[in-house]
Amino acid sequence: MRTTVGFLSQAEGTVRAMAPEVPSDGATDADRAPIRILLGGGIGAGKTAVGEALSDRGFSVVDADRIGHDVLENDADVIAAVAERWPAVMVDGAVDRPRLAAIVFAEPAELEALERIVHPRILSEVARRLTTSTFPVVVEIPLLPLAQRAGDLVEGRLLRVAIVADADTRLARAVARGGDPDDVIERMAAQATDREWASWADVIIDNGGPWAVTEASVDAIVEDVRTHG
């Protein structure tokens, strides 16, 4: 059951029609299951900050990006597949992620090839964590195709939250974290746009302004989930 929610923006700072319906008599077990939250957005949008805010409020946060890093470091089948396709990214038997990123973010076909290798493993672990936790789980996801597929794993109530911000703000944040400007711009170009994230989402949080406004939006989501979820 998809939850219908509103739009959260820096200008409005409010939630409109956000509350999911409380299961009525005859609801299935899936309807009564805790809400699963998918938290998505591009590089520099602020997913991590929002995820940390939700974690501070007691939510269980699963970072799909970290799972992806772990897969590239420890999954023997994935490492072998990467080595076969991109032997130049292997250093002492390990995947050099910066070298790999330089290749795949410069060429869409190469990025798609990497996603075909890695995404099934990420989704398998996400599915495991979604099904083993009873408390509302937040899955932080950096890529729209992965977020779309993760949504298919949820049986029951799903809340999709997109974090957006203007391009200049995102670039500045990513560079401040140590990213190379040209590399960040290349990654932004390879990722979904804010408009595409908005089309996917049930809730949009504009994180391009003061953090206090974003935090108020987070609190609204938390209150809604605790009241109805």
pLDDT tens string for the chain (229 positions)?
Answer: 333 334 444 334 333 334 344 444 455 555 556 788 999 999 999 999 999 999 999 999 999 999 999 999 999 999 999 999 999 999 999 999 999 999 998 899 999 999 999 999 999 999 988 888 777 789 999 999 999 999 988 878 899 999 999 999 999 999 999 999 999 999 999 899 999 999 999 999 999 999 999 999 999 999 988 887 6
Give residue 52's identity as a one-letter amino acid code.
E
Structure tokens at 97: 């992620």
SS3 content of the chain, % helix, strand, coil (to 5): 55, 15, 30
Topology adopted by domain 7-17+29-68+121-228: Rossmann fold (3.40.50)
State pTM to two decimals.
Answer: 0.82
Query: What is the per-residue burial (b if ≥16 Cβ within 10 Å, else e) of 137-164?
Result: bbbbbbbbebbebbbebbebbbbbbbbb
Q: Hey, which bits of the chain come out as E strands?
A: 7-8, 36-40, 60-63, 90-91, 94-95, 137-141, 158-164, 203-206
Query: How far is Cα of residue 183 from the mean position of the Cα atoms in its chain?
Result: 20
CA distance 148 to 203: 15
Cα–Cα dist 39/207, whole Å: 13
Q: Report the C-alpha gap between 184 and 41 in whole angstroms.
A: 14
Q: Which residues does residue 137 pair with via DSSP β-bridges, in sequence order?
A: 36, 60
